[in-house]
Every structure is written in structure tokens, then in C-alpha cells.
Chain A
Amino acid sequence: MSGYASVPQQEPARKYLRPRFYLNWVGVFFGLAVGVALGLGYAWGVNPVVEFDTEPWQLRDADKAHYVVAIMLDYTYDGDLNRAVGRLLDLRLPGDPIQEAAEIACDLARTGYVESNSGLRAIRSLMTFYQLQGKSGCADTLILMQDPEATAVIDVVVPTPTLIPPATKTPTPAPPAGPTATPFRVIVPTSAPSQDFVLISVSTFCDAELSGVIEVFAQDDEGEGLPGQAVRVRWEAGSDTFYTGLKPERGAGYADFTMQPGVGYTVDLPGQSDPTTEPLAATPCTTDDGERVVTSYRVVFRPG
């Protein structure tokens, strides 16, 4: 034992007992928070990523409408519903994309867009598209699907009656040559021909065995086929008229016409109906089996 009185050992201060870290975590977290804030502020506000790959869904509303019009115009060309819907989905329109197309047609129909033939045709393309898919919009009431036919004006030449002069006992001198009455023209406006039939529906289908065919059905009010109805198909350089009922195995009111690829056709019952509004385009389509054929149409007329 030593002579020193035992001195009770003092505990070192706690801070000397803690393990030494080179970093101060408070400083690290504080710096990290400020740094992230600064980095985001610079990346989003001061120097954001330069936009160069805009997708259709990022377009402003006006240009989205133009894009939808382009989709519809192309649909009238190729009749590819899947492709058209896929493109509409690229636009990420809220809700049902086909109904949204109807809304866009409605908006366009309310603006000056319809003042040009080109715009009018575009809206009709939209209307045809969504109507075929069972949708409707205000454009249906604002825009006629077809131009009203201009009132035909015919000139009728009405001869003036010439009365036989009464017999005279003494010859009368010949009258001096003067102005003679000339026939005058009466302009008689004709009323638009009454429509016995109206176009009920136009639908498309893609069938390898019926490639590029326009099937026409003339039906009565009950949906029964009407044989012997003249059907006229017109295209840019010609027309053809044929009659329903010549293929009784397809129905009494059935007639068909084979289209040439790439040509647009209108169909009517001459003198009894208006023609189809939009040309029926003989455009390529793909069957369920993946076979490339030409789009076919089914057109139904019924008494108006």
C-alpha cells in the first residue's frame, strides 16, 4: 500500500467519452437540405431541361384540336380504327377519347373554323368518326352532315300569245317596223326533291372474303329488304347504277359494288335519297387474321 491517500477517480466528461466523428451530423443534414433545395431551384427554375421532345399530350388545347382533326382525316383515308384510337390515346384526353373527339368537334363547330370548306370537311370527318362509334355531340345539331343542295333554278321560256287580227274590209297599211315582243324568261325556283329514303347507317368492316365491297341494303320501315331499288355509286371519274334484289341469297334489298383501291365513292338511291356524306374510301385494313385487305362498307337506306 502506498502512503498516498486514495483519491477517488473522477469520471471524464461525457463528451470525451463519445466516439469522435469527423462529421457533424447536424451540419451534414442542414447542408444537405439547403443543397437539395438549391439544386432543385436551379434545375427547375434557373436552368430547366430544354424542351425538344414534346409529345402530343403536352400540346396546348388548340393544337390538340388540330392533332385530333389530323387523326380523323387520316382515319377517313385508311379506316384503321385501332390506329385512330391509339393516336387519340397519345393525347391523354380526359375521359373517353371518342367522346372527347365529339367535344372537340363541338368546340370547332362554334368557332370560325367552320367558315372554310376545309374546316367544315374536317368537322364532318370528326362527326362521322364518333357517330359510327355511337357517340354524339353538339356539332350534330350545329353542322349539317351534308351541304344543302342549292336550289336549282331553271329558265322557262314562255312565248307571248299572238292574237289573230280581225278581218278588215279595207287593207290596212303594213304597220311600221317596230319593236316586237320577245319572249321573256320566268325564273321558277324548284323545291328540293322530296326524300323518299334516308341514309340510316354507314359502317365499315374488314373481311378477306368481302374485300373492298360496298354492301347496300334498301329496307322498308320494318327493316324488310326492298327489291328493285336503283342504287347509284359515283366516284371521281364515273358512276354506276345497279339494283337491289339481284342476289336473293343475300336478301331482297341487297346490292353490292366492288371498289377500286384508293378511290372514294358516294352512294345514293337516285332521286330518292341524298348521297353518303363522306366518300367511302377504298382504303387498306387488316383483318383479325392479320391479312391486309381493303375496307368494306355496309350502307342502309330506309324510307324517310
Chain B
Amino acid sequence: MSRFLISLVAGLIVGIGLGLFLGWVQFPVEYVDSPASGLSQRYKDDYTVMIAGGYVVDRDLSGAIDRLRILGVDNAPQHVQDVTERFITNSRDVDDIRPLVVLAEGLGRLTPIMEPYRQVSVPGQSS
């Protein structure tokens, strides 16, 4: 009888370990129907770049702020400034930095580090 109990406990310990490994590592819970506020930082940044690109075309500041709200950011200008400065600091793609700088400028968040990335004014362009 004791042999059976020892075997049971041993199997239980190994089984729990195996179950935790499977449940946490191998087949973790995958969430669907998540809010955009739960997006990983990479995709939040990507989304912000996309909104900035749209802003460059339509100059719709309130629309851009509305669209950033779904990321769960309370302070959209601060968020844009943070992303822009991080992109510049990390030497990210200039084609992504430029629209971010335009949006940051539109939100009144143009900082000295962004100055070199401002688009040069050309005839027919306001900025």
C-alpha cells in the first residue's frame, strides 16, 4: 500500500510540473478580443507611426488624437513626444521619424532633439 502511495505522490509531483510547463510555456492562454491598450510596445509604436503618417496628409489634429486614445494613453501629446524621442534616440528609420516629428510639432511638442528631422520647407508646403 505504501508503495502505491509513494508512486501516486511521485506521479502527482511530476504531473503537476508537466501541467504547469504545458500551461505556462508550451501552450499558454492566448487572449483574443483584447483592447488596443494591451498591444505590445512594438505595435503601439507602429500604430503611432501610422497615425502620424495620416496626420501628415490630412493635418487633422483632433482626428489623430482621437485615434491615439484607443491605445489607452491619457496624454496623447506626451505619448507622441515619448515615441518620437525614443525613435530618434534608437536611430530608427528616418521615414518613420519624420511623420512623428510633424505630429509632435502639430501637438506643440517639438523638442530640440527633433529639430534636425523637421521637413525642409519647399514651395507649396506649409511646414
Chain A positions within 8 Å of B, measured between CB atoms, are 22-44, 48-49, 51-56, 58-61, 63, 66-67, 69-71, 73-74, 76-78, 87, 90, 116-119, 121-122, 125, 235-238, 260-264, 279, 281, 284
Given A73-B54, A236-B125: A43 in contact with B22 (beta carbons within 8 A): yes
B33 at the interface (CB under 8 A from A): yes
Given A235-B124, A236-B125, A279-B57: A27 in contact with B15 (beta carbons within 8 A): no
B78 at the interface (CB under 8 A from A): no
CB distance from A131 to the nearest CB of B (A): 17
Given A26-B4, A59-B35, A73-B50: A48 in contact with B15 (beta carbons within 8 A): no
Which of B7, B18, B35, B62 is the one whose CB lies under 8 Å from A28?
Answer: B7
- CB neighbours (8 Å) of B15 from chain A are 31-39
Interface size on B, residues (CB 8 A): 59
Interface string of B47-66 (1 = CB under 8 A from A): 10111011011101011001
Q: Is A58's CB under 8 angstroms from B34's CB? A: yes
Q: Is B31's CB under 8 angstroms from A58's CB? A: yes
Q: Is B7's CB under 8 angstroms from A23's CB? A: yes
Q: Which residue of A lies closest to B17 (CB)?
A: A39
- CB neighbours (8 Å) of B22 from chain A are 36, 39-40, 43
Q: Is B31's CB under 8 angstroms from A54's CB? A: yes
Q: Is A76's CB under 8 angstroms from B57's CB? A: yes
Which of B14, B20, B40, B126 is the one whose CB lies under 8 Å from A54?
Answer: B40
Q: Report how far A40 CA is from B51 CA in the complex, Å.
A: 41
- CB neighbours (8 Å) of A55 from chain B are 39-40, 43
Q: Which 8 A-B pairs have the closest CB atoms?
A: A39-B19, A35-B15, A43-B23, A31-B11, A73-B54, A27-B7, A118-B63, A77-B53
Q: Is B14's CB under 8 angstroms from A35's CB? A: yes
Which of B5, B18, B36, B99 is the one whose CB lies under 8 Å from A77?
Answer: B99
Q: Is A36's CB under 8 angstroms from B19's CB? A: yes
B112 at the interface (CB under 8 A from A): no
- CB neighbours (8 Å) of A31 from chain B are 7-15
Q: Is B125's CB under 8 angstroms from A32's CB? A: no
